Structure 1
Amino acid sequence: MFQLALRLGRTVGELVSSLSAEEFEYWKAFSVLEPIGILREDALFANVCKTFADLQVKNELTLRDFTVFNRDKFADAEPEKEQVMRNIKAVFGALSAKSKA
């Protein structure tokens, strides 16, 4: 919720008072497919830095050499892609069935 509020330029209180649980579920599903936040930014900037380094030193550095955050400690927190897709299908399926009723 805090990451979403930061990205939308709103307070968490504003989001809580104006965001339905259904829309928040959509945002969570979207975040799995298109991550937002510090880890994504770290990867993007690491890629830029590696590109510049590759101009000077060929194939000696990896993308991980330029990341600030250690992704290994976050690996357990990330769900498997297949499970995420099942969850997204379940949410959208439930919403579709709700709209037909």
Structure 2
Amino acid sequence: MSELENSMSTDEFEYWKAFSTLEPISILREDALGANICKTIIDSQVKNETTLKDFTLWQRDLYVDEEPDIEQTMRNIKAVFGALSAKP
């Protein structure tokens, strides 16, 4: 067994699964962060109407389904944390 399997509790593992669902860490997220920096620099120097999509390398809509609306996101959050708070 690996060190992580020996040292992480089931509760902590469930927390990280929920976090990954709510805040996925991927190349798309890194791309968005880099695009935001580029857009901020351009916007500070030029009066231009640019969007984040103008600066992204990866087109999110090719890889990810349509984003859920706010109500769906709230239902997802409640479901994940509701499951975490339920003690077996």
The TM-score normalised by the length of structure 1 is 0.59
Identity percentage of aligned residues: 70
Distance across 1 between alignment mates of 2:33 and 2:80: 30
- How much has 1:48 moved relative to structure 2? 0.8
Which residues in structure 2 correspond to 1:50-61 (within 5 Å)?
50-61=39-50
- Name the structure with the higher helix share: 1
Opposite residue 34 of structure 2, the aligned amino acid is F
Structure with the bigger RCO (C-alpha within 8 Å, sep 6+) is 2
Q: 1:85 to 1:20 in 2, by over 3 A?
A: farther
2:53 is paired with a residue of what secondary structure? Answer: helix
Unaligned runs of 5+ in 2: none
More off after superposition, 61-70 vs 78-87 = 78-87
What is aligned with 1:40? 29
1:61 is paired with a residue of what secondary structure? Answer: coil
Unaligned runs of 5+ in 1: 1-12
Task: Assess if the C-alpha contact under 8 Å between 1:32 and 1:84 holds in 2.
Answer: no
Distance across 2 between alignment mates of 1:91 and 1:15: 22
1:23 equivalenced with 2:12 (yes/no) = yes
Task: Assess if the C-alpha contact under 8 Å between 1:42 and 1:69 holds in 2.
Answer: yes
CA RMSD of aligned residues (A): 2.9
- How much has 1:51 moved relative to structure 2? 1.3
Q: 2:53 aligns with which of 51, 61, 64?
A: 64
Residue deviations 1:38-70, cap 9 Å, x none? 222211111111111123332242211111111
The TM-score normalised by the length of structure 2 is 0.65
- How much has 1:79 moved relative to structure 2? 6.4
